[in-house]
Structures are given as C-alpha cells and as structure tokens.
Chains A and B, each alone.
Chain A
Amino acid sequence: MESSVLLFYVLAALILISAVGVISAANAIYSALCLVTTMFGVAGVFLNLGAPFIGAVQVIVYAGAVVVLFVMIVMLLDLKKKERPLQSRSVSSGIKVAIPALLVGIVVAAAQMSIDFATQEGAAQSGGFLVSTKELAQLLLSKYLFAFEAISLLILVVIVGAISLARSPGGTHVGPQ
C-alpha cells in the first residue's frame, strides 16, 4: 500500500471521528476541541491535495481564530447544564439521522456514475499538482480583484456590526448609562 493511500485513510478517520465528536459531545467545550481536530485533519487533506497555502490558511483561520472565538464564548457564558443529543427516542430523531445518510448515498452514487474517470487518470499520471503561493496571489489580485475588495468591505461591515451588537444594552458591555 502506498503511503499516500494510508495517509488518506488515516486523515479521513480522524476527520470523521472528530466530526461525530463535535455533534455528540454533551459539553460544548469538548465539541470545540473536537472541532480543532477536524480542522487539522481537513488541513492535512488540503496538503495531500497539493494546496499548501490553503492548508496553512485553514490552520491559521479556523484552528487559530474561529475555534478560539468559540472557546472564549463557551467560557464567557458559564454553562452549567449539560444536554445530550437525541434525548427523545422518537420517530423524528430517526428521520433526522436518516435524511443526511440518504443524501450521502444518493450523491455518492450520482458521483460514481457521472464523473469521468479520464480526469482521474490524467491527474494520476502527471504525478501531483502543486499550486504555488505566487501563482495563487497573481490570480487573486488580477482576475478576482473585485471580489477581494468586496470581501475587505464585508469584513469592515462585520467588525462594525459585531462591536455594535456587543455594546448594545443587554450585551456584554454593562456600564453606567
């Protein structure tokens, strides 16, 4: 067995086990820790697919920033009551689990039938496809320049929005009026 095949299965197992951990942990802090493991697994798959820049951004943005934000909110809210998923053993719980599973089956079958096997062979023969950060940056700042500027505007709006939400009465900022 090739090492890349083994690497794929190890990463897939890591991702799926920790993803199930996210949705089944009773305590929100364990969910956040499982989310970090999932993000690292996905970053490993990105590296395996020849996208080192996206893998690094995944670790920095998700594992570094987003999950820290989640952990901080969990600490801030001081949750005492634990709650487990699927407390009522009713028919609706079964349906809620069955619908996504059915979706996976249908779409995997559709992909198996529709995706051309030739693209797969071509990529295997050329022996890997590595995108350098330089090429990515040139594309980002030429073809996608408008989207890049629009995203920066979005981030400005989000900063203002998050601060104004957190400062409003009833938010975390309780001070003299």
Chain B
Amino acid sequence: MLDLNEFMHIGIHHYIALSLILFAVGMMGVMIRTNVLIILMSIELMLNAVNLSFVTFSHYNKNFDGQIIVFFVMTIAAAEAAVGLALVVLIFKHVKTLNVRFFEKLRG
C-alpha cells in the first residue's frame, strides 16, 4: 500500500497535500488563538496555501491563467492586511487589548 516510489517522484499530489496542510494550519490558528493580530497572520497563511495550489495547477495544466489569479490574490491580500491592521489599531485604542473575547463590547 505505502509505495516508496511515491515519495521519490514529486507529483501534483505532493504539492496539493502541502497546500492543504498549510491551509489547515492557518485554519487551526484562526480557531485556537484569541490574539487578533495572530488571527490576521493565520488568514495570510490560508491565502498563501490557496496561491500554492493555484500555481501547482497552473504548472501541471500548462496554463498561465492561474498565475494571473495568484497575482490578483496577492494584491487583495495586501489590501486586506492594510485595512485589517488599521481596524486593529482603532479597536486597541478603545478596548486596550487584542483579545477577541473582549470585542463583544463593541457598540457604537
């Protein structure tokens, strides 16, 4: 069942598995951490995992379009980080903590 040959030849499955594990690590980070900065970093990890799978499929299907999409995803991720961090600064000034459990007090 477990063929050693499968580990010696890197194929599309290896890259997909790497991308999935990276996505799962990011997902765990969003769920187990309460620090809002680290939650934003975990979202960046998940976006990177998706980029990795886009480039993998682009490579194995010999199609450039996947790389263009990765370019757009990176742009949107940078924009999302800028707005997210501006919001973090704003919330920190109000609540004096980065723990998301205390953000339930946000009102008005």
Contact = CB atoms under 8 A, between A and B. Distances in A.
Contacts of A79: 98
Contact of B37 (A1, A54, A70, A119): A70
A154 B76 contact: yes
B67 A101 contact: no
B14 to A, nearest CB: 7
B12 A119 contact: yes
A158 B83 CA distance: 7
A73 B85 contact: yes
A19 B45 contact: yes
A177 interface: no
Interface of chain A: mostly helix, strand, loop or mixed: helix
Given A108-B20, A172-B89, A45 B15 contact: yes
By size class, the interface of chain B is 35 or more
B78 A65 contact: yes
Nearest to A66: B81
Contacts of B62: 123, 129
Interface of A: 1-2, 4-5, 8, 12, 15-16, 19-20, 22-23, 28, 31-32, 35, 38-39, 42, 45-46, 49-51, 53-54, 57-58, 61-62, 65-66, 69-70, 73-74, 76-77, 79, 83, 85-86, 93, 96-97, 99-101, 103-104, 107-108, 111-112, 115, 119-120, 123-124, 129, 131, 135-136, 139-140, 143-144, 147, 151, 154-155, 158, 161-162, 165-166, 168, 170-172
Interface of B: 8-18, 20-29, 31-35, 37-38, 40-42, 44-45, 48, 51-52, 55-56, 58-62, 64-65, 67-68, 70-72, 74-79, 81-83, 85-90, 92-94, 98-99
